[in-house]
Structure 1
């Protein structure tokens, strides 16, 4: 591609313009002969150049065409290309914004929130009903806010947890050392009375409490914004990708934990 071609002239347009620079004012027939552009195309090319103000006409019979000065032509071609590039830039920017929004993770619609503080009656009921849905396994991590809760408060949720559990399921509990310190040993005996299998492991600390039911739904404790020893509720999610990620996190932490009861 020639330099004038890069600035936006077609091959025929460039030939006609260069011919006019040599011939000066000329008729369409003369320009066709001088440029090599076929007579069947010459008027279309001349009209395009005139519309872009790169050539002008003389009021003669027949009409004669004159090339505008090269500096003027180059400036006008550059202005055209600049405008085109600005339009392209705006289009690409819109495409980029659309791509960004499409690449953002979609908020899960398969989710619900249960509001209720630690040990409250509504949360005991919700927890018991939640556990009743388990038919195979429950994986749970117990850390904050249970670590700072008095045993009487924690006890109400523990009892609701196991009261709702069916006898044939297996439960894997991963607890922090701080939770272990506040939990009486009788809890573990109570757990074995309710379910078929209980495995318990301990980590020095955990950052969030959650459980996974049958690897199909996970509930995550939502910390209370004003009271570190409490929660404001839990969010339950059954989006498979999210549940799988929490299960993966559980298994990684489980492999690092120290067995307490297997």
Structure 2
């Protein structure tokens, strides 16, 4: 591996130049002392202990007590797991901070926004589009957290479940009714069937209140519907139309808060759930 390729991989860990250099050397050479590492890497001795301390604090390096103290990189798989957990904790801290400011933010800026738009003729777009992948998953997580009464999911194998799992769990803990309509396994590839089996097992084990059924036939779209209402006033949804010849990376999902449109989606879900699906055994 070249220095450039190693540096490119380590960019994902959000490390400084010295930290990346030190970690690469420890992964390559194994356990060593701080002075030896400074000499091998060219990192100034005045900085090497701070660099190693930073790596230890984020969980990428172990400190080995002794005279002299030694340092050792953790296994690469453990480093990746630590990096993901560090980012998750950072995000949860960020979310907590933002939520704590919600009331004050709305109180200060809500009236300003209303006054600025009070003379504007209201319009309502039917939907807006987002790319499939992280943007659509972010929108889906937002829908889950906004749900008050019910969430309805139409999906092939629910392959994106892990990416929205915290929001899913939050809705379940708040007592939101969740129903998941999965595509019958007979219509899935071996790969997607395996994914679906694992997701169904997780849902049955960890979320026993969630209702599951298999759609008997392939569906023309998939997505998430939140709080549909027959008064056509409320509800939100994200929808992805099936396009077999277009890869997911090139597709877009539609997000809507149009109450009438969401009511129609909800009615479609109810009909398939009641008449064109079977229980998950």
What TM-score results when the alignment is normalised by the length of structure 1?
0.46
Determine which structure has more spread, i.e. the larger CA radius of gyration. 1
What TM-score results when the alignment is normalised by the length of structure 2?
0.43
